[in-house]
Chain A
Amino acid sequence: MEENSRRGFMGKAFGAVAAVGAVGSLVAMKRTWDPLPSVKAAGFTTLDMSKYEEGVMVTEKWRGKPIFVLKKTLAIMAEEKDKPEAQARNIKVGDANFMIAIGLCTHLGCIPAFRNDLNDFKCACHGGEFTASGLVQKAPPPRGLDIPPFKINGNKLVLGEVGPEWQTMKDNGVTL
């Protein structure tokens, strides 16, 4: 060290104080931008699965996000017959089969619109398309619609709670 004078020492001492302060303030700034506890706690949506009609796409709301609920028609079920990928996403409540997914395009988060005549979803933002089972039909979306954590309780389905059916889907890489 050339500059081993008192001035050099004071410079280093200030540097140390400033570094501690800088790290501390960065932590505080980062934490200030975190989602608030009230936001995180706002949480669980219970759906009564007996009220849905076949072939009618209903949009529910969970954590501010749209949730697609589609009770599958026989036509949709027939289409899924030889497609294990589509079957893996199927959610069975009682005797009824459902497509339940977060209604945000996996590309950049626009809401795809359900097309009744074609039984599919089309995203207006960048032209992505999904089948009635929630699989990608046309790029750019990188993967099928995400399935929110759910737990089945008889005829009720709780969004936000992790049930065995959803855990299986997650473990098998069906959803994120």
Chain B
Amino acid sequence: MAHFTKATSVKDWLNQRLAIEKVEKVMASEYWIPKNINFLWAMGMILVVTFVLLLVSGIFLLMYYIPTVDEAFNSVNYTIMREVNFGWLWRHIHGVAASVVFLIIYIHMFTGIYYGSYKKGREMIWISGMLLFIAFSTEAFSGYMLPWGQMSYWAGMVITNLFAGGSLHADFLVEWIRGDYVPAQAFLGRFFMLHVLLVPIAIMALIGLHFAALRIPHVNNQDGEDVDFDAESKKYLAGDKAGSKVMRFGNDFMSKDMMVVGIFLIFFFYLVFYNYGFAMDPVNFDPADGLKTPTHIYPEWYFLWSYEILRPFNIDLGLVLFGFAQVIFVFLPFLDRSPNAVPANRRGMMFKIWFWLMLCNMIVLTAMGKLPPEGVFTTIGLVAAIVFIAQWLALPIITSMEKKV
């Protein structure tokens, strides 16, 4: 039985019951961050802030949105946009944040790949991060269904058809997922549930796991240096703040983190107020019509690279390669056989080329996915898709040959 004494202050009262000082130390002032980092290390905090923006704007949208096929379109485009005071603000924040969050996720991912932050005990950080990517993708797709416009309907049609497994003709599975022969009320209802309840819960749980995975290996640094966090933090606490290689997370590192977040928010709200159009596909301002496919169907920009891997091949091969592209990033820590956990540019020519080619190729795939599947674009898309697959197959080989630096 714990011993309680008469509290001397509110803080003391709470401290006796919740150990708030201890919690503060564990979470902030004695959570150690290496000093040798740059602004790319602030992407995590930007993602947290963007997730909060999505959550808050989503809560307000949820109050007026009606998840029925007859009313969904108007509840978004008329009620929320025209009638609700500041309804447009919540919608534009939600739409722009849904798009921008993927830009930051990709920067965060490629930062991790570049600095080797998935190696030497940091594998679970990478894996939980990739699970978050999958959860965010599900969240984005299910949310895209909700306005029930033409793009919502046809994206729903195309993506659910993927589950027929090509020549397997698992139409029963597709009909089970839709609850109908085509996307209709049952489909909208269940994707609404996924978007506002199940997937957000999964995302919050995964964010918890992602942060927990950081505690033991700690944050990586710009040189991939193996920092002794125990020794360095002792040095810091003993007063040698300048000599120590680490600093406190709160409020020292946080102040820099929030500085970057501030710059991000200015850019973000510039988009929300003046340039939200990129996140609002004009085709989706036509109500869903099961008897008319829009001229070009393409996903939002963040899915284009994997869509382009599906497109140039026949359905079965396309599906296999698409599935490969979806999951292969998860296995990066195990496919990279090299012991070097240093920036890509210092790991020798082979991996340096691998990294920059992967980055450029994903940009090419993204561009080709947006263009209509005709003429030279089909060829470029095909080559880029093959290069993508080949790079992943080659990764274990070139990293095994890598010399230790």
Partner of B291, one of A35, A111, A176: A111
- List A59-117 residues whose CB lies under 8 Å from chain B: 59, 61, 63-66, 106-113
Q: In the complex the two chains form, is B157's CB within 8 Å of A176's CB?
A: no
Closest-by-CB residue of B relative to A143 is B167
Please encode chain B, from 144 to 186, with 1 for each CB lying within 8 Å of some chain A CB and 0 for all others.
Answer: 0000000000100110011000110100000111111110101
Q: In the complex the two chains form, is A142's CB within 8 Å of B293's CB?
A: no
Q: How far is the CB of B172 from chain A (nearest CB, A)?
A: 10
**B296 at interface (Cβ–Cβ under 8 A)?**
yes
Query: Please, which residues of chain A bring their CB within 8 A of the CB of B184?
Result: 39, 64
Q: In the complex the two chains form, is A59's CB within 8 Å of B291's CB?
A: yes
Kindly specify which of A7-15, A17-25, A119-127, A166-174 makes contact with the partner chain. A119-127
- List B187-210 residues whose CB lies under 8 Å from chain A: 190
Partner of B290, one of A39, A64, A113: A64
**B241 at interface (Cβ–Cβ under 8 A)?**
no
Closest-by-CB residue of A relative to B374 is A127
Q: In the complex the two chains form, is A109's CB within 8 Å of B157's CB?
A: yes
Q: In the complex the two chains form, is A35's CB within 8 Å of B179's CB?
A: yes
Query: Please, which residues of chain A bring their CB within 8 A of the CB of B290?
Result: 61, 64-66
Partner of A125, one of B158, B175, B315: B158
Q: In the complex the two chains form, is A113's CB within 8 Å of B293's CB?
A: yes
**B16 at interface (Cβ–Cβ under 8 A)?**
no
Interface secondary structure of A, over-half rule? loop
Q: In the complex the two chains form, is B177's CB within 8 Å of A33's CB?
A: yes
Partner of A34, one of B158, B179, B181, B182: B179
**B378 at interface (Cβ–Cβ under 8 A)?**
yes
**A16 at interface (Cβ–Cβ under 8 A)?**
no
Query: Please, which residues of chain B bring their CB within 8 A of the CB of A30?
Result: 176
Q: In the complex the two chains form, is B315's CB within 8 Å of A142's CB?
A: yes
Closest-by-CB residue of B relative to A64 is B182
Q: How far is the CB of A57 from chain B (nearest CB, A)?
A: 13
Partner of B162, one of A61, A63, A108: A108
Give me the 5 closest cross-chain CB pairs, A-B, nearest first: A127-B373, A111-B293, A64-B182, A109-B161, A108-B158
26 A-B pairs in the complex with CB atoms less than 8 angstroms apart: A30-B176, A33-B186, A35-B178, A35-B179, A35-B180, A35-B186, A39-B181, A39-B184, A59-B291, A63-B181, A64-B182, A106-B315, A108-B157, A108-B161, A109-B161, A110-B297, A111-B291, A124-B293, A124-B295, A124-B297, A124-B372, A126-B310, A127-B372, A127-B378, A140-B314, A140-B315
